[in-house]
Amino acid sequence: MMSWPQNYLTGTAPEAHGLATLGWVALIVFSIVTAIVWVLLVWSLNRRRGTLSEHALITLDDGRSWVTLGGYAIPVVILAVIFALTLHTLRAYPMVHELTPGAGALIRVTGHQWWFDAEYLGNRPDLNVVAPTEIHVPTGCAVDLELQTRDVIHSFWVPKLNGKVDLVPDQVNHIRLRVDKPGLYEGECGEYCGMQHAHMRLQVMAQSPDEFQAWLAAQRAPAVAATQATTAYGAQVFQTAACPLCHTVRGTSAHGQIGPDLTHVGSRLRIAGGMLDNTAANLATWIAHAQSLKPGSLMPDLPQINAEDLSALVAYLRALQ
């Protein structure tokens, strides 16, 4: 099971740098204020006792109480400065109102309970590609994301690339990414969306433009036909089990729309909405006991598949590169 801390205080993309700077300013200022409050508390506990009226007589030269200064004026100034810095940061936030045809990639991201789906929009519908959990982007190019949800409110959040953007029912939001450094950037849902919210993960894979186009071309190809005896038998198990009712494997008769597209599932880093590494053992356990790993997900347990069939099914799915 994958688990990692998300750190919004270090950014890679320009937009994330602005948010990280704001975060550091707020953290430092509030830490200083907290330290001052503790010092004053200790001081007040150790000074001599007296009546309330005696303590109320501690004033500035012009008659204003220290309480007025420390309790009202200073917090107002600090919060006003933080508010102004926040507005300045938000002005540079690359929100867009529609997808831009000239962008390096046009991607429609859809939130489900509990996984992200990504559809890469081509010039024609037949060039569109659907790939869940992983979002591939070309480096050095503007990438426009169209964000939507199929059920409840989710939030798209990749801390090192940008801030959180909600996915709201019956509303489409847009965001623009630009990643200059190749690599894998971890993301997750940033809005509580149900019992498996903590296991709703995603990965943004930034590649060179040539590598991205090669990956996109490979994803547009249908599933590779099973030729070995084990994978061929696994393909039969897949078709005769409940799998085609929920999943699509392009190039076969499986056209389910409920779960993730499995056409190239073998090439993905993770499964189960980004929760598990894509290993043979994890895949077998997920198929047979999904509800034990991710209770409440739409993936049912399939304990009726015997060990031989399960092994062949896993071999077939891992061969879908």
User: Does residue 27 belong to any structural domain of this protein?
Assistant: yes
**Angle ∠(223,225,228) on CA atoms, nearest 5:** 135
Q: What is the pLDDT of residue 208?
A: 93
User: Does residue 135 belong to any structural domain of this protein?
Assistant: yes
User: Does residue 216 belong to any structural domain of this protein?
Assistant: no
Q: What is the pLDDT of residue 24?
A: 84
- The answer to whether the CB of 267 falls within 8 A of the CB of 136 is no
Q: What is the CATH number of the domain that holds 285?
A: 2.60.40.420
Choice between 207 and 13, residue whose per-residue pLDDT is larger = 207
Q: What is the pLDDT of residue 101?
A: 53
User: Does residue 217 belong to any structural domain of this protein?
Assistant: no
Percent residues over pLDDT 70 in the chain: 84
Identify whether residues 62 and 129 lie together within a single domain.
no
Identify whether residues 141 and 74 lie together within a single domain.
no
**Mean pLDDT, all residues of the chain:** 84
Least confident among 28-42, 79-93, 98-112, 208-222: 98-112
Least confident among 59-63, 96-100, 166-170, 278-282: 59-63
**202 pLDDT above the threshold of 50:** yes
**Preceding amide of 114 cis, omega within 30:** yes
Domain count for the chain, please give it.
3
| C-alpha closest to that of 255 among 266, 243, 264, 240 | 243
Least confident among 7-21, 23-37, 232-246, 276-290: 7-21
User: Does residue 4 belong to any structural domain of this protein?
Assistant: no
User: Does residue 196 belong to any structural domain of this protein?
Assistant: yes
Q: Are strands 105-112 and 142-149 parallel, antiparallel or unpaired?
A: parallel
Type of residue numbered 101: P
Identify whether residues 75 and 117 lie together within a single domain.
no
From 91, 124, 140, the end of a domain falls on 91
Range of the structural domain that residue 246 is part of: 229-318
User: Does residue 218 belong to any structural domain of this protein?
Assistant: no
User: Does residue 19 belong to any structural domain of this protein?
Assistant: yes
From 150, 175, 210, the end of a domain falls on 210
Identify whether residues 129 and 205 lie together within a single domain.
yes
Choice between 62 and 187, residue whose per-residue pLDDT is larger = 187
